[in-house]
Structure 1
Amino acid sequence: MVYFLNYTRLLAVPPVRPIPTLSKDLIIEILIRVPVKSLVQSQLVCKAWLSLINHPAFVKSQLRHALSTQPHVISPKVIKHETFSLLDVDSRQIVAHLKFPRPRGEVTSVTIVGSANGIVCVAVQFKTTFPVRITDIYLWNPAMRQSKLLPSLFDYESADILSLRALGFGYDEVDHDFKVVVFGVLFPLGTCYAVYSDYRNAWRHISLPEPIRAIRAGTFDVCVNGFLCGMRNKYVMMSFDLNQEVLNCAIKFPVMNLAHAQHFRNCAAKLPVINDDNDHDYELDGEITHVIAFNNSVAVVMLMESNKKINFWTLDDGTTCLRGRGLEASWTPMLSIVLTIPASLIYGYFSNGNLQLAVVMNDVKMLVSCNADKKEARIAPLSVKMADDLHNRVIFKYTESLVSLQGFTDMSAKTTNVGKYSKPLLVLVSLCCLLFFNLSFS
């Protein structure tokens, strides 16, 4: 049997339009908006994407975009010694629970020291027969499911035993280095602090010329412009310069004068009236001060006047003062929140220009949202679960990132190979690319 082709008919068929292709720059703009978990999976699509997503320039672009768009905070509250809550303060929702790899041994506490550029520093204390508790410190990227244990700070079996007082973690933007700071008493050297550099992968012990007393135990509250800041005590703030690795423990908190009092009266925001049964089961702590970050500067919130007023101040010329160059701290009064009943202040946090205050009033945990420009304050409703997770003494900003440090190991036992990918993932990414293409050029 013989078949004949109809060439006339073939020539009449219109040419097929070529499939539109996206430029590399456009693909990057799409991918930096994809969640980190999906980006990790997208590395399996092809070798080109693997190379692109692992490139340092792409990692920086993804981080820069995430820092500008993700308003999440991570709560130090631990569930079963291994899980932390990831919260969205603006929507007042629990976004996820971050599971930390459970260390071996009998754990007494797991504490978040700080968070920077998607890396979370975690301190784990173990029960031990030594005079002090053994503390292991980890750096952890929850989104990448990678972590590493830092080198031991000292020899537990020698006389060099450190009594921990304060810990801090931040990113040195000058040297592009993650650093951990431990402050305490090292025998027989006396009062000192130690600094871990991820770049050096080593600790550096620094002795202080004079012993510093009355240091509040805990962690530094915030990291602002390369400075770790926290309370030394109720009257003085301390700061640590991550680049120069210098500690300053002599920054005085603001003291009220007549001009400040008049300013606060003129910019007071009063909360709505709350029914008070005058039968409080919670204990009021008296005057409370918390160090917070505000518009890339240091600020403090202070609970005063019989627990019925919260004053908000910002630090002037913070960089010079924080470096400890002999300049006395100067504070500007910003806003006063007048409470209708006595309260206990848990913490303060800035998000999208609003001051968020976690307080307890009339035995009820609540979030007070304040607008400093409009001098307004309102109570934001919270679910019971959200209230429990939010009401911690310190919370930290957290941003998903692709940052991977030297020495990181994968927490997952699964192994993957380039070229083997999930069809649903590929279809999803392809649809996102086409959608972005159509929206951009329609």
Structure 2
Amino acid sequence: MPKLHMAAQHLTAALLLCEVVMEILSWVPAKPVTRLKLVCKSWNSIISHPHFVKLHLHRSPKNAILLLTLTPALTLDEEEKWGLALTSVESFIQNPSSTLDAQENRHSLHGQDWVSGSCNGLVCVARFLCQPNNDIGDIWFRLLNPLTGFVSENSPCLRVNVHNSFGFGYDESSDSYKVVTVIPDSSGTVTAQVYSFGGSSWKTINSFPAFPFFPEDINGHFIGGTLNWLGLRNPHGADYDWADVTLDMLMIVSFDLKSDTHKQILLPKGIDEIPGQKPILGVWRNSLYLLHDYKNTHFIAWQMKEFGDENSWTQLLKISFHHLGVERLFPAFIFENGNIFMLIGRHRFEVVFYDRRDNSVKHINILANNRYVIAFDYVESLVQPC
């Protein structure tokens, strides 16, 4: 009996030690914690456990961004190349050019790849293949974790046209990652195809109510278990003239990844006329943003403070193009809880950062030589779904 009691004490002590080690390691940044798996078998077991992975994700710093960059071909024999660069918000804003040129934390993608979203440290990459001068082709998706090097198996192939919008997010109810492809046809009918990674087939959702803008809002925005697009009601296909669009045609479609259902979110009541340029949606942390111009003279940003509550739309700022030092601009990304806005200048070779906290404006030429940049909210993680 004393031996049994002693064994129980040893087991209890071992479990307590394991919990202490797990608690300490869960606060270590993602990159060094992956190296700590080599310390011993017990640490490798702790760090690889699904419970630890979720705990570590919850505690990971939320100040990283993922940049999708396009490097142009220098010769006729070369191909354009996409790359993923991981950086902090502060580093990118202070020195964007150095961030894009740095080789550290950079990952190469195929020239036919496209990032369709980022969630919980995973990046969803689409590859579209079609014959020259043909709008119809095959597309499939895979997941990768730039930090751990994890790459998932490809999704089943899907036959689509080039005018598609994508979305990637996490369904907490089923602990699954899903990609959604929104597909219009020439008659104006829009359907959605949903794939859950690890599954064997796509699920068709008929009567999708709107056609997302292409290419301005090609990717759906993930927030609160939903993917959200800004699009047009009954546009009769991708070939439409913005000059013919009316305010009542604009709508936000929110797709619930748990139920595979969609609903409409109303635009802010303060929008009383159609913007001169196509508006876009944005997400930073737990807020949805709507960005647009006003009479081609001002930039306006709205924030939905409580996602899903249409009465919580609040106008964050209205600032003149003159103050920003541009004649025309295109919204690109939001940083720091809606305080810093990244905008693309008229000729798409100049990036403008506006900080509403001190009303400051910073101009950076980072699109020289046809370099293309798209930013995604990102968190480093150890997530590697089955």
Which residue of 1 is the match for residue 146 of structure 2? 142
Change (3 A) 1:295 1:212: closer
The answer to whether 1:246 aligns with 2:236 is no
Output aligned runs, 1:220-259, within 5 Å.
220-233=219-232, 235-248=250-263, 251-252=266-267, 254-256=269-271
Aligned residue number for residue 41 of structure 2: 47
The one-letter code sitting in structure 2 at the alignment partner of 1:337 is I
State the shift of 1:169 in Å: 0.3
What does residue 126 of structure 2 align with?
123
Query: What is the match of residue 54 of structure 2?
Result: 60
Show the counterpart of 1:87. 87
- Could you list the per-position Cα deviations for residues 282-340 of structure 1 after superposition, in whole angstroms to 9, with x for gaps in the alignment? xxx9434221125512121212232x31112123654266xxxxxxx773222222332
- Per-residue deviation, 1:230: 2.3
1:396 aligns with 2:376: yes
Note the 1:339-418 alignment, pairs <5 A. Answer: 339-340=321-322, 341=325, 342-352=327-337, 354-360=339-345, 365-371=350-356, 376-380=358-362, 382=364, 384-385=365-366, 392=373, 394-406=374-386
Distance 1:26 1:213, change over 3 A: closer
Alignment of 1:256-267 (within 5 A): 256=271
CA separation of 1:294 and 1:402: change in aligned 2, threshold 3 A? closer
CA distance in 1, matches of 2:17, 2:26: 15
Alignment match, 2:75: none
- The alignment's TM-score, normalised by the length of structure 1, stands at 0.64
Does 1:73 find its partner at 2:65? yes
Do the aligned residues in 2 keep the contact of 1:83 with 1:97 (CA within 8 Å)? no
Contact 1:236-1:253 at 8 Å conserved across structures? no
With normalisation by structure 2, the TM-score equals 0.73
Partner of 1:36: 30
**Partner amino acid for 1:147?**
V
Letter in 2 for 1:339: F
Aligned counterpart, 2:10: none
Whether the 8 Å contact between 2:68 and 2:83 is mirrored in structure 1 is no
Query: Is 2:145 the counterpart of 1:165?
Result: no
Cα deviation digits, residues 253-277 of structure 1 (max 9, x gap): 654359xxxxxxxxxxxxxxxxxxx
| C-alpha spacing 1:34/1:100, structure 2 compared with 1 (3 Å) | farther
Q: Is the 8 Å Cα contact of residues 291 and 300 (structure 2) preserved in structure 1?
A: yes
Q: Distance in 1 between matches of 2:209 and 2:313?
A: 27
- Partners of 2:17 and 2:369 in 1: CA distance: 47
Distance (whole Å) between structure 1 residues aligned to residue 191 and residue 90 of structure 2 = 40
Unaligned runs of 5+ in 1: 1-21, 259-284, 322-328, 407-442
Distance 1:293 1:40 in 2: 29
Distance 1:331 1:38, change over 3 A: closer
Please tell me whether residue 98 in structure 1 is matched to residue 106 in structure 2: yes
Are the structure 2 counterparts of residues 100 and 196 from structure 1 closer, same or farther at C-alpha, using a change threshold of 3 Å? farther
Contact 2:124–2:144 (CA under 8 A) maintained in structure 1: yes
What amino acid is the match of 1:379?
V
Distance 1:34 1:294, change over 3 A: closer
3-state SS of paired residue (1:74): strand
Instruction: Deviation per CA, 1:136-178: give whole Å up to 9, x if none.
Output: 2111111111112333244x6xxxx566521100112333221
User: Contact 2:349–2:366 at 8 Å: present in 1 too?
Assistant: no
2:280 matched residue in structure 1: 290
Name the Cα RMSD after superposition. Answer: 3.7
Match of residue 294 from structure 2: 304
2:32 is paired with a residue whose SS is helix
Q: Does 1:313 align with 2:302?
A: yes
Letter in 1 for 2:64: H
Q: Separation in 1 of the partners of 2:69 and 2:196?
A: 27
Which residue, 151, 154, 171 being the options, matches 2:155?
151
How far off its partner does 1:25 sit? 4.5
Q: Distance in 2 between matches of 1:47 and 1:314?
A: 47
Structure of larger gyration radius: 1
Counterpart residue identity of residue 137, structure 1:
F
Please give the alpha-carbon distance, in whole angstroms, between the structure 2 residues aligned to 1:170 and 1:83: 21
In the alignment of these two chains, the number of paired residues is 333
User: Does structure 2 conserve the Cα–Cα contact (< 8 Å) formed by 1:78 and 1:110?
Assistant: no
Any conservation in 2 of the 1:183–1:192 contact (CA below 8 Å)? Answer: yes
Check whether the contact 1:337–1:377 (CA below 8 A) recurs between aligned residues: no
Match of 2:33, SS state, is helix
Question: 1:38 and 1:332, CA in 2 relative to 1: closer, same or farther beyond 3 A?
Answer: closer
Aligned to 1:6: none
Q: Give the Cα–Cα distance (whole angstroms) in 1 for the partners of residues 146 and 32 of structure 2.
A: 14
Q: Is the 8 A contact 2:166 2:220 kept in 1?
A: no
Structure 2: how far apart are the matches of 1:366 and 1:65?
A: 32
Unaligned runs of 5+ in 2: 1-15, 72-79, 233-241, 243-249
